Every structure is written in structure tokens, then in C-alpha cells.
Amino acid sequence: MIHETILREQLPEVFGQCDVPEDWRTDFDLVAIPDPEQDVESRTKEPGHPDPFFDALSETISGLRYPVAIEQGAMAQLVTLFGRVPRPGAPITAENDGCPPPPDALAFYLPFHYYPTWWGIYITVDGLLHLTEVFSTMGNHTFPRHHYGLAARFFLYAHEFYHYRIESLATRIEVTHRRPVYIDGFERHYRNTLNYSPTECLEEALANGYAYERLQLKLKNDPAFRDHMQAITLQYIKTSRPPYQRGHAFRTYAARKKGECLWVEDSHHETFPQLKKLKPTIWETGGSFSRGFGDIRSRIQYILPRPSMLKHRINLKP
């Protein structure tokens, strides 16, 4: 990403460092997702699309039997590699709390502020299959599982993409203030709310609301499946554990924008306590502060452990 290269050259102090073993890839397969932004509704109606890996996965999806086990050993390994310090989008392990696993237990985002080589969005294959079956079960298997698989993949992608948007917003502040913002106040505010008042950790709730809204927009030309998934994703969010559960309050653009302004102003104040704290509406004056800072499309991938119970059933050629 050219913007990141310029930033690292001129503002190296705004980046953090996370040590990742050079050989971590020997335990995992990565397969690029060609274009997760393509219209989901067209794929639910037309066979074939530019993602041969998902085509291969579809055979597995069609034969699923609930519940689909998440490979906890592999997820625990990913948490050890990338989630030891709680950060927005970092991988977490699912808990046996009666709630469906949240997006970050099924996919994760690695920020470019910490991972110059490996930053991007990762969707775990067993996590995708699990959420596919959760959606299908919540929907009484009304539509083919392939449909639910596409919706599940897009929901996970959109949730993690929102973390990228917030990182992009913090980066814009770094350009003007010439000091760390994302690895400082933004991360500290996230961690403090997550640890001491999870319902107030709005970034995860906002990411769920964003994923809900984006999926509805993607399905606008398929009203039957759109309305079906509207009820399912709302149920999924409402039955999730905090802080993800609160996402139902941010499922409209107006509500999400209001919540985002509050989250950003509080994160900004955590970074710059010496500055006057303003009403959150100040962030409405700048347009789309949180649009992506660069091009993330080449950094969206499936991740699958080696060995895997699923590996022998899926063609791993990208």
C-alpha cells in the first residue's frame, strides 16, 4: 500500500511492532479472496463466480450438519500469534457461554500499524462454515446453504473491514498531528472499555451494525433473501455476547453515524486529553473520515490450519 510506505518513511514513530515467528505460515494455508465486494445478490442467483475456492467450499457447505465445530486448537494458536494484546479485530476464542461465536472468533483483522507484512482481513474456513450453519439454522434452512455461506462470508468481511475504517480515520489524524494516535489513545480506549465496561466498547458493536447495514444494501435486488437475512443477522447480533450484542442499536446509518462520532470523540480525547472535548457531532463536519486509507482488496484471505479436518475436502489452489 503506497500510503503506508510513505507514512513509514516520514512518520515511523506512529507505528508499533509485533513480533511474529517467520515460520508461522508453515502451520496455515492462505487463499486470496478475489473480490468480496462483488454483489452478493447476483451470486445467490447465478452459478459460478470468480472465487474457485468458495466454489469448492460450496460442496462442503451443502453437506453440513449442525453444529460445525470450530477448530479451537488452530484458533488458540492464532490468538497466541496475533491476539495476546486485545486490539480491534484481533482473533479471540469462542466461549461456551450459550451465545453464538462473535465475528472475531471466526475472522480477524491485522492492522497495518503493527503488521507491515501480514496486515489485512482473514476469514477462517471453519469459522465461515460455522456461521453459515448458524445462519441456516436460524433461517430454518429456507434457502440453499450456499446462499447462507455467501451472506456469512460477507458479514464477516464487513465486520473486519470496519476495523480497517477506524484505523484509517486514526491515520488521518496522525498525518496532521505528526504523532501516534492509533497505537496510543485509540487502542487504549478500546482496551479500557473492553476490559472494564464491555457494553461501552462501541467499536465492536459498530462493526456489527456496519456489517448488518452493508449486507442489506448488497441484497437490495433480492428482497426475499434480504428480508430473510435481515431477521437472521438481527437475531445473531442480539444473541451475541457484549460488546457485539449492542450492534443491533447501530443497524441504521443514522444510528451508526451517531455512535461512531461518540466513539471517535472519546478515542480522540483519550489521545489528546489536553484538548477541549467537543460534542461528538463535530465529527459529522468532515464527511467520510473513516473511509479506507488505501487499497485493502489484495489483503483479504481465507486461512486454514495445517493439518485440518476440512483440508482433504477442499481444493486449496487459489
**CB contact at 8 A, 86 and 194:** yes
Element at 305 (helix H, strand E)? strand 300-305
Domain boundaries, the chain: 2-313
Instruction: Please determine, for residue 11, whether its predicted confidence score (pLDDT) is greater than 50.
Output: yes
Mean residue pLDDT of the chain comes to 87
With cut-offs at 50, 70 and 90, classify the pLDDT of residue 62: low
Choose the most confident range, by mean pLDDT, from 192-201, 280-289, 304-313.
192-201
**CB contact at 8 A, 232 and 251:** no
With cut-offs at 50, 70 and 90, classify the pLDDT of residue 85: confident
Q: Could you check whether the bond before residue 67 is cis, i.e. omega within 30 degrees of 0?
A: yes
User: In the prediction, which pLDDT does 178 show?
Assistant: 95
User: In the prediction, which pLDDT does 280 show?
Assistant: 95
User: In the prediction, which pLDDT does 39 show?
Assistant: 54
Residues 6+ apart with CB under 8 A from 100: 131, 134, 236, 239, 240
With cut-offs at 50, 70 and 90, classify the pLDDT of residue 69: low
In one-letter notation, the amino acid at residue 14 is: V
| Span 205-217, pLDDT tens digits | 999 999 999 999 9
The number of CA neighbours under 13 Å toward the Cβ of 54 is 28
Higher pLDDT, 107 or 94: 107
User: In the prediction, which pLDDT does 248 show?
Assistant: 96
Instruction: Please determine, for residue 72, whether its predicted confidence score (pLDDT) is greater than 80.
Output: no
User: In the prediction, which pLDDT does 296 show?
Assistant: 86
User: In the prediction, which pLDDT does 50 show?
Assistant: 59
With cut-offs at 50, 70 and 90, classify the pLDDT of residue 218: very high
Higher pLDDT, 71 or 189: 189
Q: Return the percentage of the chain with pLDDT > 70, whole number.
A: 84
Instruction: Please determine, for residue 107, whether its predicted confidence score (pLDDT) is greater than 80.
Output: yes
Under DSSP, is residue 65 helix (H, G, I), strand (E, B) or coil? coil
Query: What is the arithmetic mean of pLDDT over 24-45?
Result: 78
Here the contacts of 47-55 (C-beta below 8 Å, separation 24 or greater) are: 52/315, 52/317, 52/318, 53/302, 53/314, 53/315, 53/316, 53/317, 53/318, 54/149, 54/150, 54/153
Residue among 131, 60, 69 nearest 314 (CA)? 60
**CB contact at 8 A, 61 and 149:** yes
With cut-offs at 50, 70 and 90, classify the pLDDT of residue 318: very low
User: In the prediction, which pLDDT does 49 show?
Assistant: 57
Higher pLDDT, 182 or 22: 182
Largest pairwise CA distance in the chain? 58
With cut-offs at 50, 70 and 90, classify the pLDDT of residue 295: confident
121 DSSP 8-state letter: E
Residue 191 phi, psi dihedral angles, 5° rounding: -65, -40
User: In the prediction, which pLDDT does 17 show?
Assistant: 87
With cut-offs at 50, 70 and 90, classify the pLDDT of residue 96: confident
Q: Which three cell numbers stand for residue 209?
A: 451494525
User: In the prediction, which pLDDT does 5 show?
Assistant: 83
